[in-house]
Amino acid sequence: MPSGFVSASTRLLIGPGVPVETKVLLDEIKETGSERRLGVDFQCPMLEERHKTQECDSEHLSKKIGSTKSGVGACNAERALRMVKLARQEPQLRPFVGDTAAEIHQSLARGGNVMVEGTQGTFLSLYHGTYPYVTSKDVTASQACADVGIGPTDVDDVMVIFKSYVTRVGEGPLEGQLSRDEVLRRGWMEHGTVTGRERRAAPFDFNLAKRATELNGGTQIALTKLDVLFPKARGIKSRTELPLEAREFISKIEQETQRPVTVIGTGASESDIIDLRSASKPETAKPTLVVKGKKSISMRG
């Protein structure tokens, strides 16, 4: 489900570039009460149990690469061979299936706001990431556009989301990786959302941040978990009230990336946010791409 489900007035769409697993989607629809506001593109590829089996049976993927074995890669590979089942062929999804690309452009023509949500970190990109320890497709903002059916001229802003430290699950390089004991001591231990595996962690990498901003064409930055890195920042609602070391950290990110940090997360609550986006900025009908808000449409790409 797109993260926009938290806004009760938002229409939720899943674009044709997104593999869909029927049972998982139906469970999430029920869990979020989104039966009346979800649309699934008729060309979404269907992720089936055999795709998971293929990945589990692959020693290369499951052991060397450290795949989540969710079946997405096998599903994408089958689609490239033009053999995959599509959402329009899935009877259980019939009430939700439609032309989401057409719907998004109709919304734009009416002056609606559209947020496109990307998925996975930039350096898991098949083209730009730490190959072969990557996912099965590109995950940058330009791919998110393609996944939902909009062109680059439709986009006004690209918000790149950074965590205040770096984490990685599975195999692959991680510059500055900390020991497990040190990760626990700092309170940085996390677990993968799909597999539950522990994530490795390292301090914030300014070079990676700059590169990610360039690859995504980022226009602004959202920074999460500042309170984990600087506990005294927890719950603060103003940038000027943040502790000095936290303000200096944010300033260095802005200096290295040449982009403003406009949204800062200072806690686990949805209200623990410092929002520096200008309230006077004119509303636009074009999408804001979120890489990892009038009535709006939230697209999953």
Q: Compute and round to an integer the Cα radius of gyration of the chain.
A: 20
Helix axes 244-257, 206-216, angle to 10 degrees: 50
Q: What is the pLDDT of residues 56-75, one digit of tens each?
A: 989 888 777 878 889 999 99
- Are the beta carbons of 265 and 222 closer than 8 angstroms? yes
**Pairing of the two strands 97-98 and 261-265:** unpaired
Q: 20 — phi, psi (to 5°)?
A: -125, 130
Query: Which residues are 115's β-sheet partners?
Result: 288, 298
Q: What is the pLDDT of residues 124-165, one digit of tens each?
A: 999 999 999 999 999 999 999 999 999 999 999 999 999 999
Q: How far apart are CA 163 and CA 89, in angstroms?
A: 39
Q: What is the model's pLDDT at position 296? A: 41
- Are the beta carbons of 123 and 129 closer than 8 angstroms? yes
C-alpha torsion sign, points 148, 151, 156, 160: positive
pTM here?
0.89
**Pairing of the two strands 11-14 and 38-41:** parallel
Six-digit token pair at 118?
């990307």
Q: What is the pLDDT of residues 193-248, one digit of tens each?
A: 777 889 999 999 999 999 999 999 999 999 999 999 999 999 999 999 999 999 99
User: How many CB atoms lie under 10 A from the CB of residue 78?
Assistant: 21
Q: What is the pLDDT of residues 63-108, one digit of tens each?
A: 778 788 899 999 999 999 999 999 999 999 999 999 999 999 999 9
